[in-house]
Chains A and B, each alone.
Chain A
Amino acid sequence: MKNLYLPITVDHIARVEGKGGVEIIVGDDGVKEVRLNIIEGPRFFEAITIGKKLDEALAVYPRICSFCSAAHKLTAVEAAEKAIGFEPREEIQALREVLYIGDMIESHALHLYLLVLPDYLGYSNPLKMVNEYKKEIGIALDLKNLGSWMMDELGARAIHQENVVLGGFGKLPDKATLETMKKRLSEALPKAEYTFELFAKLEQYEEVEGPIIHMAVKPRGDVYGIYGDAISVSDGFEFPSEDYKMHMVERVVEHSFAKHSFYNGEKPFMTGAISRVVNHADKLYGRAKELYESHRDLLRPTNPFANNLAQALELVYFTERAIDLIDEALAKWPIAPREGVEVKDGFGVSTTEAPRGILVYALEVKDGRVSYADIITPTAFNLAMMEVHVRMMAEKHYNDDPERLKYLAEMVVRAYDPCISCSVHVARL
């Protein structure tokens, strides 16, 4: 069997957001090549917003990705506000984080129940699980609806939130809505915990066990969260967000519309829920802290499948955290919705934790217009590492039934929860 090359390909990975495929080339001495093909077309978001009015560019950026449009909106707005020298009041910041958490809850619930769980239960499609897994589908819908309702109330809608504007919100929710939100979040807590218990039982494949470099935004205020001004690396290194280009180096690769990123120019790295947990578990509190302590062996830094469980842990954490943030805002009630903002010239970098990991926006504003834009999304950061893990899986299973290998390769990719639409909006070189 000399020189026999067997391509095992999944043209279009199902149950992820966006269009991507996996290509595994097997020769007589094992796996030759593994490629994640990102086939979604380019949308040039940075290029099309240069020279545009700041508020219009901010309306367009969330359209990079629907699963994390709130993440894009809030990160872009923070970068813009840093650029023009505006700092939102604490209570506005708290409510923005609640909106961000709405995105986190919805996105994690969708990913875990609709995209990941069917693989484990032997279904090709989550809708087919309805009769046999009534409870699970019910919880999925409840959590998903809670997240989208939070985004409706705070962001004007669940996808592409126009209510977040420079200086604050177009309109704030009234006090009664926030009280209801607290109540619904409390009611969701047991459902989030059930999700954690459910995912703690699922297999994490040992084929992909190995050291991983994790990167996560260092939370502001020393509480596990979304916003921060520095990036922490699991090897102990830490750098200010402004220096992202020095330590998260991008390269164009031939088989992908999305670039690949490397830590300090050579090492693939991971970002996402498990990376946040690995780097910042000491900043968790409440029920999530307890669950983390009792399940440390499963939430380990060496397996990408642990990302699923880390997302479930975050469902618990962020549900509790949102309640605290709403209390912070309510303590300052009544609050003014929107401040007049002077659009000065400047440059700002915002790094936040989107559901899938570090999201970077660097914006320069000149004469009220965007004069430079650089956006790097979590999936783009993760692609190089994702390829490493698919290769590890392929190396153990290339002699198996190709269908089995495809399934496992897809599961590795799905554990990363890739947002392929997002990843196609890469920065300038």
Chain B
Amino acid sequence: MEGKVRIGFYALTSCYGCQLQLAMMDEILQLLPKAEIVCWFMLERDSYEDEPVDIAFIEGSVSTEEEVELVKRIRENAKIVVAVGSCAVHGGVQSWEKDKSLEELWKTVYGDGKVKFEPKMAEPVENYIKVDHRIYGCPPEKKDFLYALGTFLVGSWPEDIDYPVCVECRLKGHPCILIEKGEPCLGPITRAGCDARCPGFGVACIGCRGAIGYDVAWFDSLARTFKEKGISKEDILQRMKMFNAHNPKLEEMVEKIFQGVEE
């Protein structure tokens, strides 16, 4: 890319953690001579949402009608659109109950109260616009940002990881949480890249980087293992859906394992 790269960081509905992760990187100061921040409300008061940019980073899930319009405008103005983090890529934890109706969720929290904006059930950015690249995680690791920015700046793009957290966990030599502790670890179906961070602390993976792409997430195989441990279908689905609620294969593959089984 020639001249300064024009970068925009846009937020939909989220915890702002992906932006915070980027803002917390001291390396960002080294980026400044090469980049111009056109829009980044979290840090920049002179932010412009509708200006053309080379790279648009979008964090958050589409959760209001206003955000549907916003992502469309971002797409029109950007050469490269990057969905950042679990919310933008997978709809985020706020999609956990996507099978319930918006009305039902609204009533639980707001009762009969009304507001003047139009809420929606949370959805990944890709449901509305074409996304060129994804940075996974809740939040993404700092190195994910470095890798993505580095590749964009040299005119290339980041490659997706297509192997599970288990690979990194084995390389690190951590005890297997699933086999040795019997806990429902989602490492086997979750996209690697975190260096098996949580298993390293003795905590079962909750799948925050989302299921591995290219249809290689073996929900069925892991569901079988969970089933053998006595976990119910509903509980397996709930755990796998925490960060994968919009995955089109999940339900069908778990269902397969329980066909003909009385619960």
Contacts and interface: CB of A to CB of B under 8 A. Distances in A.
A419 B189 CA distance: 33
Contacts of B235: 53
B117 A48 contact: no
A130 B115 contact: no
Nearest to A147: B24
B111 interface: yes
B108 A14 contact: no
B96 A48 contact: yes
A59 B44 CA distance: 31
A160 B139 contact: yes
Contacts of A43: 13, 63, 92-94, 122
B197 A156 contact: yes
A105 B138 CA distance: 22
Given A39-B117, A48-B97, A48-B105, A421 B16 contact: yes
A251 B234 CA distance: 35
By size class, the interface of chain B is: 35 or more
A148 to B, nearest CB: 6
A53 B93 CA distance: 14
Contacts of B32: 127, 130
A65 B15 contact: yes
A291 interface: no
Interface string B65-98: 0110000000000000000000000001110110
B198 A256 contact: no
A171 B13 contact: no
A329 interface: no
Contacts of A44: 94, 97, 105-106, 108-109
Interface string B1-35: 00000000001111111101101101011001000
Contact of A125 (B12, B14, B43, B197): B43
Given A44-B94, A252-B114, A66 B17 contact: yes
A60 interface: yes
Interface in A30-79: 39-50, 52-53, 56, 59-60, 63-67, 69
A127 B29 contact: yes
A389 interface: no
Question: Chain A binding site: helix, strand, loop or mixed by DSSP?
Answer: loop
Contacts of A67: 16, 20
Interface in B179-208: 197-198, 200-203, 206, 208
Most buried by B among A118, A127, A259, A338: A127
A213 interface: no
B101 to A, nearest CB: 11
Given A66-B15, A159-B20, A42 B44 contact: no
Contacts of A56: 206, 238-239, 242
A296 interface: no
Nearest to B205: A162
A56 to B, nearest CB: 6
B23 A114 contact: yes
A347 B139 CA distance: 31
A144 B24 CA distance: 8
Interface in B234-260: 235, 238-239, 242
A162 B115 contact: no
Interface string A337-350: 11000000000000
Nearest to A425: B109
B174 to A, nearest CB: 10
Most buried by B among A49, A253, A421: A421
Interface of B: 11-18, 20-21, 23-24, 26, 28-29, 32, 37, 40-47, 49, 61, 63-64, 66-67, 92-94, 96-97, 100, 104-106, 108-111, 113-117, 119-120, 122, 138-139, 197-198, 200-203, 206, 208, 235, 238-239, 242
12 contacts: A14-B47, A15-B41, A15-B44, A41-B61, A41-B64, A43-B92, A52-B96, A60-B242, A125-B37, A125-B43, A159-B17, A163-B198
Would you list the 4 A-B pairs with minimal beta carbon distance, nearest first?
A252-B113, A41-B63, A66-B17, A41-B13
Interface of A: 12-19, 39-50, 52-53, 56, 59-60, 63-67, 69, 110, 114, 118, 124-127, 130, 141, 144-145, 148, 156-160, 162-163, 165, 169-171, 252-257, 259, 337-338, 410, 421, 424, 426-429
